[in-house]
Chain A
Amino acid sequence: KNEVEQSPQNLTAQEGEFITINCSYSVGISALHWLQQHPGGGIVSLFMLSSGKKKHGRLIATINIQEKHSSLHITASHPRDSAVYICAVQGDGGSEKLVFGKGTKLTVNP
């Protein structure tokens, strides 16, 4: 059974701090997604990656396939980054089914 574990569950930071959210999974995957869920409930896809590293603005996502681990980094965090960040993985068995982590709630204080 594929388990997706995120840490920490909750994270509070001061504006400007560097943030790291971790995701570990237990089976082979074909892709990993990082999603952002706003306080209002909407979900936005941030990254989809299967190897290496991707960067978009202040956000960086990395994945280590051998270690079955991914990290999402936020540089120069801002209160508007406050949201729940969700990791989801797609197995390598041919289905596009995603297994989701429980999310990391980030609060950035001014």
Chain B
Amino acid sequence: GAGVSQSPRYKVTKRGQDVALRCDPISGHVSLYWYRQALGQGPEFLTYFNYEAQQDKSGLPNDRFSAERPEGSISTLTIQRTEQRDSAMYRCASSFGQGNSPLHFGNGTRLTVT
């Protein structure tokens, strides 16, 4: 497709379950970023990849959160043993990379943990 695609659009899960959120970046984009946005707040950095290499994961809140991009294209953000505080909008963005090209954002996955 022409833009960054995220799925699912909405996810409701029970506390303690694992969830996997998918991001399909724009074709040819080297860099892929994951952010989290709580209601009424600005986005918060989680992690980013250049190709398949995870360059910075300093924003992942704890070891229940992990991300991968095994073939340098589609990425999955996994949250294990979800907690209510994990409820947020999870956004993915991609760019041509090298820190000097604009970001293209997906529409996000709204995660609700009950």
Contact = CB atoms under 8 A, between A and B. Distances in A.
Interface stretch (B52-60, B63-71, B80-88): B52-60
Interface residues of A, number: 23
A100 B43 contact: yes
Given A48-B101, A48-B102, A95-B56, A86 B43 contact: yes
A57 interface: no
A97 B99 CA distance: 9
Contacts of B91: 43
B108 A33 contact: no
A90 B93 CA distance: 15
Interface size class of B (residues with CB under 8 A): 20 to 34
Contacts of B43: 43, 86, 88, 98, 100
B1 interface: no
A96 B102 contact: no
Most buried by B among A30, A33, A45, A101: A45
A90 B42 contact: no
Given A30-B99, A97-B58, A102 B105 contact: no
Given A33-B102, A45-B104, A102-B42, 4 more contacts: A30-B99, A45-B103, A98-B45, A100-B45
19 contacts: A30-B100, A35-B105, A43-B91, A43-B105, A45-B102, A48-B100, A48-B101, A48-B102, A88-B42, A95-B56, A96-B48, A96-B50, A96-B55, A96-B97, A97-B45, A97-B58, A99-B45, A102-B41, A102-B42
